[in-house]
Copies of this chain bind each other. A is one copy, B any other.
Amino acid sequence: MSYRIITISRQFGSGGRTIGKKLADELGIKCYDREIIDQIAEESGFDKKYISEKSEYVPNGIFGTMMNRWSYSGPTNEERIWQIQSNYIKELADKESCVIVGRCADYLLGDRDDVLKVFVHADNKYRAERIVKMYGESDIDPEKRLKDKDKHRAAYYQIYTDMTFGDALNYHVCLDSGAVGEDNCVEILKNIFN
C-alpha cells in the first residue's frame, strides 16, 4: 500500500498530537495541527481562540440552527470555519505528503486511497496523568476535564461526519498509546507508511 498522507484523530490527552509531530519529523514531512487554525484565521478574520473553540465544540444546537435558517442571512460562523477548514485540508492533501492531526481530516479525505487513517486513544488513568504533566494542575479535576473534552469532541465529529468517533471501522490503525507506548506508536506508523 502506498500512502502519502496520515490523518491522526485522537482522544484528548492520549498523546496523539505528540505522536503526529514525532512521526512527521522522522518521515521528513510536515505535521499540520495548529497551522490549520492559523490559516482559517487568516482567511476568515476570526480570532484564533474563537476558531479553536468553534472547531471543537458543536454549533448552538438545533434551536440555534433553526433560528439561523428562519431569518437566513448567509452561513453561520461555524459553517464558514468548517468550509475554510475543509478546503484547506483538501488542498494540503493535493499539494504535499504530510501528517494532519484532528479536524475530521480522516472524513474530509475519506475518498482518497493514499490516506492512512489513525486513531490514538488511552485509558483515563494514563490520560489524566498526562494532561496534568503537560498542561499543569487546574481547579477542575483531570477526570472531569477528560470527560468534558471527550463529550464535545465526539459530538463535533458526529455532527460534521455522521460517523461515530472512535469506531475502529473508520480507521486503518487504532492504538492505545498507554498500552503500546508513544515511541512504539511512532515506529509502527512509520513502518506502515513506508
Which A positions have Cβ atoms within 8 angstroms of B? 1, 116, 119, 121, 166-169, 171-176, 179-181, 184, 187-188, 191-192
A-B contact pairs, 22 of them (CB 8 A): A1-B179, A1-B181, A119-B168, A121-B168, A121-B169, A166-B167, A167-B168, A168-B168, A168-B174, A171-B176, A172-B176, A172-B179, A172-B180, A173-B174, A173-B176, A173-B179, A173-B180, A174-B174, A180-B192, A184-B192, A187-B191, A188-B192
Taking CB atoms, residues of chain B closer than 8 Å to A172 are 175-176, 179-180
Copy number in the complex reads 2
Nearest residue, chain B, Cβ from A9: B168
Closest partner residue, chain B, to A119 (CB atom): B168
Q: Which residue among A119, A179, A180, A191 has the maximum number of chain B CB atoms within 10 Å of its CB?
A: A179
A175 → B minimal CB distance (Å): 6
For residue A116, which residues in chain B have a CB less than 8 angstroms away from its CB? Answer: 179
By beta carbon, the residue of chain B nearest A173 is B175
The chain B residue with its CB closest to the CB of A123 is B169
| Shortest Cβ distance from A120 into B: residue | B168
Q: A1-B180, A168-B168, A173-B175 are in contact. List 8 more A-B contacts (CB 8 A).
A: A119-B168, A121-B169, A166-B167, A167-B168, A171-B176, A172-B175, A173-B179, A173-B180
Shortest distance between the CB of A182 and any CB in chain B (Å): 12
Instruction: Looking at the assembled complex, report how far the CB atom of A104 sits from the nearest CB atom of chain B, in whole angstroms.
Output: 16
- Closest chain B residue, CB of each to CB of A180: B192
Q: In angstroms, how far is the closest chain B Cβ from the Cβ of A159?
A: 19
Asked whether A169 and B166 contact (CB < 8 A) given A181-B1, A192-B184, the answer is yes
* CB of A97 to closest CB in B, whole Å: 17
